[in-house]
Amino acid sequence: MDDSVLLFGVTFLFVVFVIAVYVIFGRRSSSRAKGDKVLLIGLPGAGKTHLFQILRTGKQAFPTVTSMKENTSKIRLGELHQHIHLSKETEKSNQGGPSRKTQTNQHSPTETTQIVNSNVEFVLVDVPGHNRLRNRMWSYIDSVALIVFLIDAVSFKQEQREIAQFLKELFQHPKLNERNTPVVICCNKMDSFLASTKKFIKKELEKEINHVRTLQKISSVEGEEAETVFLGQEDKPFQFEHLPMTVTVEEISVKDSNISPMISIIQQRFSS
């Protein structure tokens, strides 16, 4: 056999082998980098544990108490859809129909939620909201696919400064910026007429974070250590759209099982 033909054959087989290895292990590596966990975080009383129980079992859980440790559960997207449908129907039968506010909500989990791959699994993690316990969320940062930040839309005006500080710490974490982990801010308790709208909450949070960012600039000029990751664009007022990760703001009501905007984001994240 001619040496050039033999060399060509060996080279061809080697290239095929390299491509096969890349396809098999490269995809697995990419999947691991994306992560398999959804973190539920936020201040105490925002409804994280209540939401966790609905997503895990499809049943309303009253009452819930402030969590002192993480709650975790593995969930299939198909089961998630079934749970939300069951919970919604149970709530309607208990109340004789949806609340006044949720009657006009266009997001209905039984109408708009579509399962792309019902066999896809993810791990749901409910992280305690107490300021001495919430740092436990960083132990999951390398395997997080999505962060759900719950806000009590009824008490938002009293808590907005603490919420903004919490979000600032989240957005400035180097690993989160490196991975561009998406964040969905869920304004909960929209069943109440006292709840602030997502438009108002987004605007006020951006103003509060911008204020904190300005104070950081002053501290840096005066000699204090600057933050490792600057929030947004230096020459513009802070906006969520300026961050490297995708940040969306949605309105939900855990009490009424009206959480389809969040469910849709979870499904999109694990179906892409």
66 CA to centre of own chain: 20
Instruction: Kindly calculate the radius of gyration of the chain based on its CA atoms and give it in whole angstroms.
Output: 22
Domain boundaries, given as residue ranges, for the chain: 1-34, 35-271
Q: Which two tokens stand for residue 237?
A: 């007022």
User: Helices 77-95 and 260-271, interaxial angle, to 10°?
Assistant: 170
Residues 6+ apart with CB under 8 A from 104: none
- Tens of pLDDT along 171-198? 999 888 889 999 999 999 999 999 999 9
Mean pLDDT of the chain: 77
**How confident is residue 100, by pLDDT bands cut at 50, 70 and 90?**
very low
pLDDT over 90, % of the chain: 39
**Do the beta carbons of residue 45 and residue 130 sit within 8 Å?**
no
Tokens 């009590």 correspond to 152
Superfamily in which the 35-271 domain is placed by CATH = P-loop containing nucleotide triphosphate hydrolases (3.40.50.300)
What is the three-class DSSP state of 183?
A: strand
Q: Which two tokens stand for residue 166?
A: 């919490």
**Do the beta carbons of residue 245 and residue 180 sit within 8 Å?**
yes
Q: Dihedrals φ, ψ of 62, to 5°?
A: -120, 140
What CA–CA distances, in Å, run from 57 to 139, 157, 190?
Answer: 25, 32, 22
**Do the beta carbons of residue 129 and residue 41 sit within 8 Å?**
yes
Please report, as a single letter, which amino acid is at residue 205. L
- Tens of pLDDT along 212-256? 888 776 655 454 554 457 788 888 999 999 999 999 999 999 998
- Rounded to whole angstroms, how far apart are CA atoms 263 and 179? 22
- Tens of pLDDT along 30-80? 333 478 899 999 999 999 999 998 888 877 666 555 666 788 999 887 776
pTM over 0.95: no
- Rounded to whole angstroms, how far apart are CA atoms 47 and 255? 9
**Do the beta carbons of residue 41 and residue 71 sit within 8 Å?**
no
- Rounded to whole angstroms, how far apart are CA atoms 32 and 34? 5
